[in-house]
Structure 1
Amino acid sequence: MEQTIHFYSENKLDMKELYFSFGGVSITQPSHRFGPAIRSDYLIHIILEGEGSFIVGDRKTYLSANQGFLIRPGISSYYEASESNPWKYLWLAFNGERAEEFLDKAGLMDERQSFEVSNATMFLNLIIDCLGNQSRRMSDELMVNGLAYQFVSLITKEVIPLSHSKIEKMHPRVPEVLNFLSKNFKEPISIQEVAERLLIDRSYLSRIFKDSMGISIKEFLNRLRISYAGDLVSTTDKSIEEIGYECGFKSHDVFIRSFKKIYGIPPTTSRKINRMARDQFEGKEDFDKLLSERPFTE
């Protein structure tokens, strides 16, 4: 579970080169997990406090304060806060025709996708500025897109290779499973189908997957669908029913129950909570208080 302030932009100005999508800050509870998730934008997390792990491809990377990670569009990722020293982190999502070019120049388009920064507070201040400019006026849309440029500029200037992180390699077949699920999670998939498509014995597949990921394939697939749905709930105006069907749920009731099981609240409540923060924000001095008073969600 975590306490979160989450906000977004609809890019009504149709910015092309680089534009702000959404951002936020979270205080996580011990062993808080997020994902697996598929993103349609580039998403950068920077850790303010605590420890945890980030999994992408065949790598599990252990990260702490003043370190971060990049999630690229269309690639499944998963991360988990420490049981004894959980994370407080910020994130910002962006996209655009030159987003990949800018990130490549920052050295973040290799297979590691993790990094260090000298001072995470500089990035936090930009996130708070985003929260303070969420009235949906054209001037504020321009402001948050400008802040996205500032964020990427800081990334380009500040990013340095990891120096003290522990990186583990997972079983080589597990990334194949993650890739298959990432591309097909909207379809009705069975574990037997995954095993047959990848030419792996079903029992062996289930065992190596759970050993590497800590959860079953079925649970992973459900979390993948729900995390994708969570983004759509928070950052679009699509109906809840439409989102459920888009994410692979054939029944509206099943989607609502699955969403509530993972997030702790129904999607309509999640949408309301994530959108009320900008209306309560009164200045930087109130940010920590506002964050600490947020209701817990999964």
Structure 2
Amino acid sequence: MIEYFVPRNFHHTELYIIHYGSQVCSPGHYYGPAVRDHYLLHYILDGQGIFKTAERTYELSTGQAFLIYPDAVTYYEADLDNPWTYCWVGFNGLNAKNLLHMSGFSPSRPILTDDEQRSVGRCMQSLINMHPQGKARDLHLTAKIYQLMAALVENNRQDEVIPAQSRRQQYVEEVVRFIELNFANRITVSDIARNIGLNRSYLNALFKEQMQTNIQDYLLRYRIERALRLMINEALSIGDIARSVGYDDPLLFSKIFKKITGSPPSHYRKQMLSNPPPELPSPADDLRH
């Protein structure tokens, strides 16, 4: 059984399914040597067989899975006496490589052994049993592939050793992502630190070391930068803009806006509409460059 999935909504480029299915293999059934242009994960439901990469041959059985990487030459074959039954999903996307790395996969480590609860296997079978139709078809399948990725990450028992400098960079990136997703809410530096799981003072020191500003000032600047983008929409009042970037009090917003830009919001907006200034760089640019 094979299901082919052509996404109708190309907003799902971060992670998307190409095809999925299952097969009861006959003794000695094989595929390859061949290459794929996408990721292909096989999960063994029953039986056994072999999987070959350029580096080595793996003998696999029930509850294990093997991952084929794009452009890698691979070969797999069902056992002659106890041929495997497997299901598979082919997928790709901008987030695929990172999510697979979080799951413990790599080109030199393409094998997974499921946990005792068979969490990955249950997700795979749930996926292949789906036959969604209608306008929400791509959403249902996208949800399933993310559920599978979550199961793979949870199943990863390997503790990755992250260099101290990389870990500090990771914490700073988490702060930036948290602010980008939550700037419109009433968040504080303590909220950010609690979400990341670090002491507020320590996290602030790490952030300042890499970004040359503290978290509070970064949050203020980010909110004002977002407010500037909304200024061009004349249907929005200054109060609307203030609330949209996390300020319930328009007076407080105006005070902070003037402190950062040098002008009150209403005056700045008049100047912007009559003579649009160059776009201010996003504060996140400091991290990305």
Say whether 1:95 aligns with 2:92: yes
Query: Counterpart amino acid of 1:53?
Result: I
In 2, Cα distance between equivalents of 1:123 and 1:100: 18
Query: Counterpart amino acid of 1:31?
Result: G
Q: Secondary structure at the match of 1:141?
A: helix
Query: Is contact 2:69-2:107 (8 Å) kept?
Result: no
Counterpart of 1:143 (choices 140, 150, 154) is 140
Counterpart position of 1:42:
39
Q: Please, what is the CA RMSD of the aligned residues?
A: 2.0
Larger RCO (alpha carbons 8 Å, 6+ apart):
1
Counterpart position of 2:3:
7
Query: Counterpart amino acid of 2:25?
Result: T
In 2, Cα distance between equivalents of 1:100 and 1:19: 12
Instruction: Tell me how far 1:138 sits from its aligned partner.
Output: 2.2
Q: Which runs of 4+ in 1 moved over 3 A?
A: 119-136
Counterpart position of 2:64:
67
In 1, Cα distance between equivalents of 2:117 and 2:69: 21
Instruction: Tell me how far 1:112 sits from its aligned partner.
Output: 2.5
Query: Counterpart amino acid of 1:6?
Result: I
Q: How does 1:278-289 map to 2 (within 5 A)?
A: none
Instruction: Tell me how far 1:159 sits from its aligned partner.
Output: 3.8
In 2, Cα distance between equivalents of 1:42 and 1:7: 16
Counterpart position of 1:220:
none
Say whether 1:82 aligns with 2:79: yes
Residues 88-137 of structure 1 deviation map (CA, whole Å, 9 limit, x = unaligned): 11111111101000111111014121120125854454445445543542
Counterpart position of 1:24:
21
Residues 68-87 of structure 1 deviation map (CA, whole Å, 9 limit, x = unaligned): 11101111111011111110
Instruction: Tell me how far 1:157 sits from its aligned partner.
Output: 1.1
Counterpart of 1:154 (choices 143, 151, 156) is 151
Give the percent of matched residue pairs that are identical in Structure 1 and Structure 2.
29
* Count of aligned positions: 157
Question: 1:62 and 1:132, CA in 2 relative to 1: closer, same or farther beyond 3 A?
Answer: closer
Residues 13-55 of structure 1 deviation map (CA, whole Å, 9 limit, x = unaligned): 1111111111111111111111222212111111111111100
Q: Secondary structure at the match of 2:36?
A: coil
In 1, Cα distance between equivalents of 2:35 and 2:113: 23
In 2, Cα distance between equivalents of 1:33 and 1:132: 24
In 2, Cα distance between equivalents of 1:35 and 1:133: 28
Question: 1:140 and 1:127, CA in 2 relative to 1: closer, same or farther beyond 3 A?
Answer: farther
Q: How does 1:113-152 map to 2 (within 5 A)?
A: 113-118=110-115, 122-131=119-128, 133-152=130-149
Question: 1:45 and 1:157, CA in 2 relative to 1: closer, same or farther beyond 3 A?
Answer: same
Query: Normalising by the residue count of structure 2, what TM-score does the alignment of the two structures yield?
Result: 0.50
Instruction: Tell me how far 1:58 sits from its aligned partner.
Output: 2.2
In 2, Cα distance between equivalents of 1:40 and 1:49: 27
Return 5+ residue gaps in structure 1 as ranges: 162-298
Query: Normalising by the residue count of structure 1, what TM-score does the alignment of the two structures yield?
Result: 0.49
Q: Larger Rg: 1 or 2?
A: 2
Return 5+ residue gaps in structure 2 as ranges: 159-289
